[in-house]
């Protein structure tokens, strides 16, 4: 018989291994990963309950069929709950969970729950909540310096807009637009300045605001944005309270477009940007599109919502790195304005920054 060498015990092997090192994550990233984990657990709970309800209906039908054939009901089979993923205990620091989730994101997106694909069929676009969750993560990792009250937020974009004065949209040429938004607190009669087609003009106070336009949803400053709720549900409730709704427009559409305006033409704290994307994922009717393009033709994944009243579709475009590229609005069905697909407006964000004076550009 061959001699079998001694095998060291588990404790001895463990002493030979290096000490595990927990990855360091910012607090805000840990909070985001924790919320994502909670959403996954909640989704599994809903899927399990739906599966149980479906199985109960089938059992009742089978039981009724057996009674009809034999005159008596057979005893129901005992079913044990199915756990799709092992239970996870959240450690006090949350480092292990955050690290595992970060690794999972690096390996690829989670499966899309909104539909199924046949074998050999190309997969559809990621679900809207997945796209917006990625955008939230990218926004959270983007550091921005606080904006002083004496400075201006600068945004340069390429835009196309339709003139509706004739009753039919007449699309103008693609051109550059530069915007300087005042960060002054209180009411201001000049909220900012715009340079378009080589001409510099000032933004006027809102119609009827003879004393100037106050800070708020129609004049969002960095400080005002920083004070918005960070919890998505609370933020969405707040935006529904503040966002004006045009005649013939759905409230959810108005809020969706308001979020698009905020993330497209503002500079804000990373936590606020992340919360806005997560709040948008909670708006009914928001979905993803496989291919979308901004005003300059840059392609990416789209996040869209249709206003069933007006027949208009608002679309945000995100690049491969999940950064916000731009947006556009077009008709989703035939209306008095024109046929489906008619472009009403489009923009492509080129540069953002903070400057000391209106007219200055970031160095």
Q: pLDDT, tens digit, for every residue of 136-179?
A: 999 999 888 779 999 999 999 999 999 999 989 999 999 999 99
Q: What is the pTM of this model?
A: 0.67
Over the stretch 184-195, which tens digit does the pLDDT of each residue have?
999 999 999 999
Return the pLDDT at 363: 82
Helices (H), the chain: 10-16, 27-70, 95-107, 128-140, 222-226, 232-242, 251-264, 270-280
Identify the CA nearest to 280 among candidates 244, 331, 315: 315
87 or 238, which is more confident: 238
Q: What distance in Å separates the CA atoms of residue 357 and residue 354, rounded to the nearest whole number?
A: 9
Over the stretch 173-230, which tens digit does the pLDDT of each residue have?
999 999 999 999 999 999 999 999 989 999 987 666 678 899 999 999 999 999 999 9
Res. 335: pLDDT tops 80: yes
Average pLDDT value over all residues in the chain = 78
Q: CA of 225: how far to CAs of 164, 239, 275, in Å? A: 32, 11, 11
Q: How confident is the model at residue 94 (pLDDT cuts 50, 70, 90)?
A: very low
Q: Do residues 49 and 57 lie in contact, with contact meaning Cβ atoms separated by under 8 Å?
A: no
51 or 337, which is more confident: 337
Q: How confident is the model at residue 40 (pLDDT cuts 50, 70, 90)?
A: low
């Amino acid at each position: 018989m061959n001699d079998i060498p001694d095998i060291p015990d588990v404790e001895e092997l463990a002493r030979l291994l290096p000490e595990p090192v927990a990855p360091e994550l910012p607090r805000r990233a840990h909070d985001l990963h924790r919320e994502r984990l909670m959403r996954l657990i909640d989704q599994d709970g809903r899927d399990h309950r739906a599966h149980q309800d479906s199985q109960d209906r089938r059992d009742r039908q089978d039981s009724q069929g057996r009674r009809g054939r034999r005159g008596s009901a057979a005893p129901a089979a005992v079913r044990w709950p199915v756990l799709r993923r092992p239970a996870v205990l959240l450690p006090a620091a949350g480092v292990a969970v955050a690290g595992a989730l970060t690794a999972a994101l690096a390996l690829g997106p989670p499966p899309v729950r909104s539909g199924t694909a046949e074998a050999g069929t190309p997969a559809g676009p990621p679900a809207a909540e997945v796209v917006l969750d990625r955008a939230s993560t990218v926004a959270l990792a983007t550091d921005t310096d606080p904006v002083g009250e004496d400075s201006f937020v600068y945004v340069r974009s390429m835009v196309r807009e339709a003139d509706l004065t004739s009753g039919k949209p007449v699309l103008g040429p693609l051109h550059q637009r530069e915007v300087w938004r005042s960060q002054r607190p209180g009411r201001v009669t000049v909220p900012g300045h715009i340079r378009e087609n080589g001409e510099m003009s000032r933004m006027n106070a809102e119609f009827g605001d003879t004393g100037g336009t106050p800070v708020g949803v129609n004049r969002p400053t960095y400080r005002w944005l920083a004070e918005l709720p960070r919890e998505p549900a609370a933020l969405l409730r707040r935006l529904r309270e503040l966002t004006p709704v045009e005649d013939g427009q759905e409230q959810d559409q108005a809020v969706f477009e308001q979020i698009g305006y905020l993330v497209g033409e503002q500079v804000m704290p990373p936590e606020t940007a992340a919360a806005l994307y997560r709040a948008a994922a909670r708006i009914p009717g928001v979905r993803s599109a496989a291919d979308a393009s901004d005003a300059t033709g840059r392609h990416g994944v789209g996040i869209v919502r249709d206003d069933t009243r007006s027949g208009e579709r608002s679309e945000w475009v995100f690049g491969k790195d999940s950064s916000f590229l731009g947006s556009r609005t077009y008709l989703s069905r035939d209306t008095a304005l024109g046929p489906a697909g008619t472009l009403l407006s489009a923009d492509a964000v080129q540069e953002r920054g903070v400057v000391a004076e209106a007219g200055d550009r970031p160095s």
